[in-house]
Structure 1
Amino acid sequence: MNKQDLITIYPTGFFSDVPSTDISQLSLPINQEWFILEKETLNPSEEQLLTTLFPNNLDTHHLDHHLWYHYLFQNKPLPHSEKSFRVIQLKLKKESTNAKDWLTHLSELFNQVEDFFFIDRQTAVLIEEKTHIILQKEELEGMLLTLESDFLIQATAYIGSFNEATHNFTSFFAEEELIFSTYYAEQQHVFSFQDIALDYLTKDKIQESTIMQSLKETLVLDDEIKRIIETLWLKQGNITSTSKELYIHRNTLQYRLDKFYERFGISLKDMKNLTLCYLLID
């Protein structure tokens, strides 16, 4: 039985990069993904047959003593606290037998970690308490690169926002979890909401806009110009920094920007035009 067979038989099911932590749902591993089904839509015989065909070998018993696991993923209460926390989500490029040691060493590099654990073989969370020392993105990137050389483990991390541990905290985390699962494959090592906010907040509007879709069809953006637009935007329009990042001569970059203007009448040296074109990149 393949993915299409499952969708055909169970149209209410859906695929996810991670297994569901909701006890009312059944998670079936298939081709590095998880097919999620509501258990109430299955009779006991179906559930038994599916779990036999798609055995889930993930051991979750180690999560029983993690209060933050129950709070974030099972809507269980957390002891009252007026402190602020943020969740750092981590995704390993591939499974590793050293993963738990790697995560333990990573946690020791923070000033104050409240909890940390893997929720599946490649996905982990680390809950950091807000103190006077707040690690920045560049510092976390350095930590991951250091541990990569020690453990031969590559990972992508999403830095969440600090929020008080109130009833709204799980709502914040639910959106951050969605963001991470949507964007982690496109990122290098570490990213935060600021890095993907423009795309995240405008994606649906761009799809709905007749003007933007027409502009997208008009502008022929090949892979080369897409790289230029993306890098130039990330470098805030700085041509020298962009040319260094792309390993091309500054004059060559200037020439390509001029040719783009001649062809489409849009100057990528103007930040408003550059941002507009950046939004059109798939």
Structure 2
Amino acid sequence: MTAHLRELYRTAYAADPAAVDDITVYEWFMDNTQHVFGILKEALPEREKSVLQAFLSPVPPYRLYPEEADHRWYRRLFQTADEMKKSYRFVHFAIKQAVDDYFAMQEALRTLSEAPAAVVWFDDVSGVVVLEGEEGEHVVKADVQAAVEALQVDFLIDMTALLGRVHQPDVFPQHASTDERRLLHSLPRQERVITVPEAATHALFQQAPKPMQQLAASIFTDPVDEELKQTIAVYLTCQMNASSAAKQLHVHRNTLQHRLERYQAATGVDLRSFAEASAAYMTIAAEHRDS
């Protein structure tokens, strides 16, 4: 059938997504041999398009993988996992709106590591970057934060990400991906990037009975205004580094210190206590996430 379509559409037929300048001007299909090909939209009447969709699998742009590593990891995550010899690590990402150029986005996502990374999309607004071997082991949260900030500027998108754990080759990729992907939804509103341990902590707080969450709110958030909540959230996110927090809040260190004192006076919470600081952060994060 593919050979017949190639003959029928001639110059409007594209045998390889990676060989065209603009994938968005084509309708893409997959035949029963898993071969992906495209036909120019302007050369494909609606009736013919409907016929092809009835016999072939339509392929959305975000599933057009130009690299073999992308194909390999797509199979591992959605079909059958092969034998792996390297450790691996996922960086899950989500964007609030679809992008116009998925190829450009994929290439930008690969820069999360020195070696080219695989990119697999779950749908048009979420996916995973796969880092293999030592490349994945050496990536830290700050690396992902820098990449997310750059991507948001370059593609004008609102993006969040979760840095997964390092998995050994004997860990089934589908299970590891599914478990971590759930945690991305626990990301607090004021953060763009979160790690698995951080996300798990937030998830545990969400599972607390409602009366306990309300009690926590009455202690840590209800007595103060939004400005103080935001200040405390940033301060704790910055590991209680006053200089970093003041810079992020665009205020003088003295102003920050005054706000911290106001918070303690209003709530009685001593942020020098690890337990109290952790509880304050969890409560504020949960409130921001639910608002």
Deviation at 1:99, TM superposition (A): 1.8
Distance 1:251-1:208 versus aligned 2 partners, 3 A rule: same
Task: Quote the Cα distance in structure 2 between the aligned partners of 1:178 and 1:126.
Answer: 16
Partner residue in 2 for 1:47: none
Query: Which residue of 245, 254, 259 maps to 1:256?
Result: 259
Aligned residue for 1:191, secondary structure, equals strand
Q: Does 1:68 align with 2:69?
A: no
Higher helix content, 1 or 2: 2
Other-structure match for 2:7: none
Corresponding residue number in structure 2 for 1:213: 214
Q: TM-score, normalised by structure 1?
A: 0.64
Output the CA distance in 1 between the equivalents of 2:256 and 2:107.
45
Q: Which residue of the other structure, out of 192, 198, 203, is the alignment partner of 1:200?
A: 203
1:237 maps onto 2:243 in alignment: no
Residue identity in the other structure for 2:159: A
Compute the displacement of 1:95 (Å): 1.8
The answer on whether the counterparts of 1:83 and 1:129 sit within 8 Å (CA) in structure 2 is yes
Count of residue pairs brought into register by the alignment: 222
Aligned: 1:159 with 2:163: yes
Q: Structure 1: which 5+ residue stretches go unaligned? A: 1-55
Match of 1:276 in 2: 279
Hey, what's the Cα distance between the residues in 1 that align with 2:152 and 2:268? 46
Compute the displacement of 1:160 (Å): 1.5
Task: Structure 2 unaligned segments of length 5 or more: list them.
Answer: 1-57
Flag the 1:214–1:170 CA change in 2: closer, same or farther, 3 A: same
Contact 2:184 2:199 (C-alpha < 8 Å) held by counterparts: no
TM norm structure 2: 0.62
Shift of 1:177: 1.0
Residue in 2 aligned with 1:102? 105
Partner of 1:137: 141
Partners of 1:61 and 1:259 in 2: how far apart? 52
How big is the alpha-carbon RMSD for the aligned residues of Structure 1 and Structure 2? 3.4
Q: Secondary structure at the match of 1:70?
A: helix
Instruction: Give the secondary structure class of the aligned counterpart of 1:96.
Output: coil
The Cα shift of 1:59 comes to 6.7
2: CA distance, partners of 1:137 / 1:91: 16
Q: Residue type of the partner of 1:126?
A: V
- Give the 3 Å change call, closer, same or farther, for CA 221–120 of structure 1 in structure 2: same
Deviation at 1:78, TM superposition (A): 1.6
Given that residues 164 and 180 in structure 2 are in contact (C-alpha distance below 8 angstroms), is that contact kept between their aligned partners in structure 1? yes
Q: Distance in 2 between matches of 1:98 and 1:241?
A: 35
SS at match of 2:80: coil
Report if the CA contact (8 A) 2:63-2:121 is conserved: no
User: Structure 1 residue 138: deviation in Å?
Assistant: 2.5
Q: Amino acid of the residue matched to residue 165 of structure 1?
A: P
- Runs of 4+, deviation exceeding 4 Å: 56-63, 144-154
> Match for residue 230 of structure 2?
227
Residue 80 of structure 1 pairs with residue 86 of structure 2: no
140-149 or 98-107, which deviates more: 140-149
Is contact 1:260–1:267 with CA below 8 Å preserved after alignment? no
* Residues 112 and 130, structure 1, Cα contact 8 Å, conserved in 2: no
- Corresponding residue for residue 173 of structure 2: 169
User: Shift of the alpha carbon at 1:234?
Assistant: 1.4
Structure 2 distance, partners of 1:173, 1:243, is 36
- Cα distance in 2, alignment partners of residues 108 and 250 from structure 1: 35
Q: CA deviation at 1:163?
A: 0.7
